[in-house]
Structure 1
Amino acid sequence: MKNFRKEILGLLLIVFISVSATCQEKTSSDSDTKAKTEKKSKKKKRKKRGKVRLPDIDLSHWKVTLPVQNEKGRPYEIDPPEILDFASNEIARPYMYIDSTDGSIVFHAMPTKSTTKNTKYTRSELREQMVPGKNNVNWSFKDGGIMKGTLAMDQVSKDSNGKYHKVIIMQIHGRLSNEQRDLIGEDDNNAPPILKIYWQNGKVRVKTKVLKDISASNEEILHENAWVDDDGFYFEQEVGFRKFTLEVKISEGKMVIVLNGNEYKVYEGIHMQRWGVFENYFKAGNYFQSRDDDAFAKVKFYDLEVSH
């Protein structure tokens, strides 16, 4: 009996030692797994914080005008294909550059002597080129077109009344054909902008052109002074400094502007119909609307697409 008891006690001792070792191994294994998981998580967070993001914007059909002068004293421009390498252009770098933290292109403008013809304001702004490198191939309302972009006001200065300075962030600009230019005796192909979209004190404002006289002839309406600005329209949504989406849809006799996919402004009727006489091109970026000292604005574009 004594031997039997000894055998039982021995077996119990072996089981106890075995179980203790297994628990220790499991605890050690769990600790190792937890440590590895935490290490991977921290590594992932560090990697995420340091991740480089590049904008997915095709610039092959855009040129840019910047608020700095070239050697001829005119605004500095970069056409395709050189614009595809804008990030390496030292002249462009202060005014058009990549923010790799959020994958945007930043357009920076401020008052300088580098203004384009017929304006006192400067710009860091893209101009559509249907044929890369050329300005003389454009589109009509009959041809139609869509421009869609996601953007945000990054920084902007204030005026003496404490209001933010205005910035035009998208446009549709009119253009005279060479024949129209010669017909009315102009020295360039410039025509009014049928659409100007502003970032104005945190809201999106739209302005278009209307005819002074809807009975004017097709030749008379080619003159810039035949058109005047309308009263403008504010979208209800306040975008502030948040990211937002704008879409501009053009068809014959009609123009539709969409904010964030759920608020619309539609223009149609006699003024849109008569505008069909002009060629057009899209513009996007930062057309800064102030000459105040030390004024500036930075606009970010995260994506920008055009189709016809």
Structure 2
Amino acid sequence: MNHFRKEILNILLIAILSVNAFCYAQKSNVSASEIKTEKKKKNKRKKKVRLPHIDLSHWKVTLPVANAAGKPIEISPPEILNFANNEVARPYMYIDSTQGAIVFHAMPTNSKTRNTKYTRSELREQMVPGDNNKNWTFGDGAYMKGKLAMEETTRGANGKYHRTIIMQIHGRLTNEQRDLIGEDDNNAPPILKIYWDNGKVRVKTKVLKNLSATNEELLHEDAWGDDDGFNFEQRVDFNKFILEVKVSDGKMVIVLNKNEYKVYDNIHIKRWGVFENYFKAGNYFQSRDKGAYSKVRYYELEVSH
């Protein structure tokens, strides 16, 4: 009888130990699985912290906020390199580290640059950091490429999204040209404006009103008018897209997503060669509506000459 009782106790003991071992194993497996999942989450969070591929050492920015004199605040190199820690710049130009982009935020304010009613959070190329006097001609050649997206924008009374200029080539008079025609600044018209226009990319350029104008006459801003504009077929909406601008002597090519092209190689572009130029990129907002704004993301921006 005692022997039988011992056998029963041994069987129960083995059963209890087996159950405990099973439970322990299950607990260990769950813990390992949980740890693995948590590590994946942490790694995913780490991967989401990204920085834009943009070197700002040859750019200054104009912000939609005025200084004490009522003029738009500008930040040039080297200060622009620390824009993320600049309290003035932070609301209008900041890094979105989840998207790996610089966001340019613009809205109507009382801070407007000369000859315009609109405001901007926009970069201006400086071939020599901090100096506006060194620029390039079409004969020199130039190239700009950007990867960007409209983050968000408001709608007008017509139901369409407000548009903004996302890239430009702006003309500039040399000091000699300025003095020759009696101007008080070096401003010349923009030969290229590229718009985000209700989900499409629209291109505008300048045309000479009188093809017989002398080289001195065409230096005047009123010698140039606007062309009819061109819309790329592909809609970009709020998605990422790539824009390229290629300039050479007497020619300008705009490329959208490496599969749509617009080529300008007419007499107007050829005669534009008399001007110096510089690139612009960002958010030049085209509305004065109350409460209107837009935010443009730039993931990449590069320029070469």
Q: Identify if the C-alpha distance between structure 1 residues 36 and 276 changes in structure 2 by more than 3 Å, giving closer, same or farther.
A: same
Query: By how many angstroms is 1:33 displaced?
Result: 6.3
* Structure 2 equivalent of residue 286 of structure 1: 283
Q: Per the alignment, in what secondary structure is the counterpart of residue 40 of structure 1?
A: helix
1:45 is the counterpart of 2:41: yes
- Could you tell me which residue of structure 2 aligns to residue 120 of structure 1? 117
Return the letter of the residue paired with 2:55. D
Deviations 1:178-207 (A, max 9, x none): 000000000000000000000000000000
| Structure 1 equivalent of residue 91 of structure 2 | 94
Deviation, 1:34, is 7.4
In structure 1, distance between residues paired with 2:28 and 2:236: 48
Residue 45 of structure 1: how far off its partner (Å): 2.2
Partner of 2:65: helix, strand, or coil?
Answer: strand
* 1:176 and 2:185 matched: no
1:105 aligns with 2:102: yes
Please give the alpha-carbon distance, in whole angstroms, between the structure 2 residues aligned to 1:293 and 1:47: 43
TM-score normalised by the chain length of structure 2: 0.90
Residue 132 (structure 1) aligned to one of 129, 133, 152: 129
Partner of 2:6: none
Separation in 1, partners of 2:100, 2:226 = 35
**What residue number does 2:242 align with?**
245
1:38-92: CA deviation from partner (whole Å, max 9, x where unpaired) = 5223322233235422212100000000000012210000000000000010011
User: In structure 2, how many angstroms separate the alpha carbons of the residues matched to 1:31 and 1:256?
Assistant: 65
For 1:30 and 1:256, the matched residues in 2 are separated by 65
Aligned-partner Cα distance in 2 for 1:212–1:42 = 67
Task: Give the alignment partner of residue 303 of structure 1, picking from 273, 282, 300.
Answer: 300
Unaligned runs of 5+ in 2: 1-13
Which residues in structure 2 correspond to 1:268-287 (within 5 Å)? 268-287=265-284
Residues 255 and 29 from structure 1, CA distance in 2 versus in 1: closer, same or farther, beyond 3 angstroms?
A: farther
The amino acid that maps onto 1:291 is R
Counterpart of 1:57 in structure 2 is 54
1:69-80 counterparts in 2 under 5 A?
Answer: 69-80=66-77
| Root mean square deviation of aligned Cα | 1.9
**Mean alpha-carbon deviation: is it higher for 94-103 or for 275-284?**
94-103
Cα distance in 1 for partners of 2:180, 2:103 equals 40
Counterpart CA distance in 1 for 2:108 and 2:37 is: 47
% identical aligned pairs: 73
SS, match of residue 180 in structure 1: helix
Aligned counterpart for 1:256 among listed residues 234, 253, 258: 253
Q: Partner of 2:53: helix, strand, or coil?
A: coil
What 5-or-longer segments of structure 1 have no aligned partner?
Answer: 1-16
1:85 alignment partner, SS class: helix
Aligned to 1:162: 159
Aligned length: 287
CA distance in 2, matches of 1:56, 1:301: 9
SS in 2 for 1:90: coil
Distance 1:250 1:34, change over 3 A: farther
- SS of the residue 1:256 aligns to: strand
Residue matched to 1:148: 145
Output the amino acid matched with 2:36: K
Pick one of 264, 268, 289 that aligns with 1:267: 264
